[in-house]
Structure 1
Amino acid sequence: MKVLVVEDNESVCSMIDMFFSKDGISGEFVHDGLKGYERFKSEKWDLLILDWMLPGIDGVTLCRKIRDEKYTVPIIMLTAKDSESDQVLGLEMGADDYVTKPFSPLALMARIKAVTRRYQSSTHNQVMVQNVIKTEHFHINKTTREVLLQGKEITNLTPKEFDLLYYFIQHPKQVFTREQLLESVWGYSFYGDERTVDVHIKRLRKKVETPSNPFFHTVWGVGYKFDE
């Protein structure tokens, strides 16, 4: 597993690198946002970790730039900003998760594994027919991570957006609480941080819905359901 870490605090980098070594992760560390972007573009990465405050270009802008260019690599933000608006902004820009400084290295490793677990599992050799779902509007392939909406490919989904869409399509009309979605799609507790689900639903709505075709329905006081 190859991870690019763009973080200007060398002490934080050293700590992360130590835990990467224990888990057999190949980590590369860049301390400048612009240089991090250039390094990101130079080869394929399994995960990107971005600090919020960086010289050259900040992590949020870098995250948005990567998503605007249709890259679907999982992204975790490191941030000293702990306000709700800042955390939601990071998710709005396309991050799959965030970790607030100061953080436990073990907690970071748990989030890395949770973010990448479902994405990596899709590359395993599986029976193709078991990973393709066709509905009235969607054709979604879990193995190749391709989504067709009325025959047109949707190419700008992040890994976690794909996972969430696939999960909903697997369970049409079933109502899920935010806690259930966090556990089933993210794979671990977000410690009550339910707005993560709201942000991802909002982004999916923008990418796959039209006024005449709403798919994600809010069930007030409960959560969400997917219904074509």
Structure 2
Amino acid sequence: MGDRQLVLVVEDEANIRDLVGTALRFHGFVTASASTGAEALREARAKRPDIILLDVMLPDFDGFEVCRRLRDEGDDVPVIFLTARDTPSDTVTGLTLGGDDYVTKPFSIDALVARIRAVLRRAALAAPPPKEQEKEVLRVADLELDESSWLVRRAGVELELSPTEFKLLAYLMRNAGQVLTRAQLLENVWGWTHQANAQVLETYISYLRRKLDPLGPPLIHTRRGIGYTLRP
């Protein structure tokens, strides 16, 4: 398919699905479509899209469940949720499940295309070139993170982390001892340059603490009003 990127459009309303598909093809993308969660999973597995536009409200099971199942299978395809509900809880649910962004209906096609291109750019930057596979092992106190094998151990105990938890912990460890602002963390781990998703960061910090703290003294410390620091 060359440089043309494949967008899977998952939307149960045929008129929106067709409109978005037509607009994306006009902007140079290749498209596939699905109208249910089950169909979305089949298409994602068969066609390996570069990005998925995923409506939250689907007739069989919701877009959050589609994303959860893909992530459980180890599929890190970028996902942008389309939601009619602009509530913080929906946003946090989608993003903590491994979504990359969300767009609230009604949306402008130009804004949607800009968000798709931004997420694809971030995904390309996050994927290391083959020569960079030799990553270092980061160590802080009894915490060890091996970037090449994606292994994390504390006090010799191996921890199961999601890709986003791993990226967040690696960034904290690379900057151990420094106070990192919420804006810095959101930009460097998620690629966001706005503050709207600070609640997502707090959710992920709590996930990491839940996994690290039972094995030793707290390592991630909150600096009220500023951000977080990782130190022994």
Residues 137 and 83 of structure 1: is their aligned pair in 2 closer, same or farther, counting only changes over 3 Å?
same
Deviation at 1:203, TM superposition (A): 4.0
* Higher Rg of the two aligned structures: 2
**Are 2:143 and 1:140 equivalent residues in the alignment?**
no
Deviation at 1:149, TM superposition (A): 1.0
From 212, 217, 225, give the equivalent of 2:215.
212
- Partner Cα distance (2:206, 2:80) in 1: 19
> Which residue number in structure 1 is paired with residue 33 of structure 2?
29
**Are 2:98 and 1:91 equivalent residues in the alignment?**
no
From 189, 192, 196, give the equivalent of 1:192.
196
Residues 218 and 8 of structure 1: is their aligned pair in 2 closer, same or farther, counting only changes over 3 Å?
same
Q: TM-score, normalised by structure 1?
A: 0.79
- Partner Cα distance (1:7, 1:21) in 2: 16
Residues 64 and 127 of structure 1: is their aligned pair in 2 closer, same or farther, counting only changes over 3 Å?
closer
Where does structure 2 lack aligned partners over 5 or more consecutive residues?
A: none
One-letter amino acid matched to 1:147:
W
**Are 2:143 and 1:175 equivalent residues in the alignment?**
no
> Which residue number in structure 2 is paired with residue 50 of structure 1?
54
| Structure 1 outlier segments of 4+, above 6 Å | 151-155
Deviation at 1:209, TM superposition (A): 2.5
From 60, 65, 72, give the equivalent of 1:61.
65
Deviation at 1:19, TM superposition (A): 4.2
- 2:137 and 2:144 in contact (8 A); partners too: no
- 1:71 and 1:156 in contact (8 A); partners too: no
> Which residue number in structure 2 is paired with residue 157 of structure 1?
162
- Partner Cα distance (2:92, 2:26) in 1: 31
Map 1:97-136 onto structure 2 (within 5 A): 97-121=101-125, 122-129=127-134, 131-135=135-139, 136=143
- 1:148 and 1:154 in contact (8 A); partners too: yes
Q: TM-score, normalised by structure 2?
A: 0.78
1:16-41: CA deviation from partner (whole Å, max 9, x where unpaired) = 33443354332211111111112222
Q: Name which of structure 1's ranges 18-27 and 31-40 shifts more when overlaid on structure 2.
A: 18-27
Residues 227 and 87 of structure 1: is their aligned pair in 2 closer, same or farther, counting only changes over 3 Å?
same
Deviation at 1:154, TM superposition (A): 6.5
Aligned length: 221
One-letter amino acid matched to 1:82:
D
- Partner Cα distance (2:144, 2:231) in 1: 11
- 2:7 and 2:31 in contact (8 A); partners too: yes
**Are 2:170 and 1:166 equivalent residues in the alignment?**
yes
Where does structure 1 lack aligned partners over 5 or more consecutive residues?
A: none
Deviation at 1:49, TM superposition (A): 2.1
> Which residue number in structure 2 is paired with residue 222 of structure 1?
226
Deviation at 1:139, TM superposition (A): 0.6
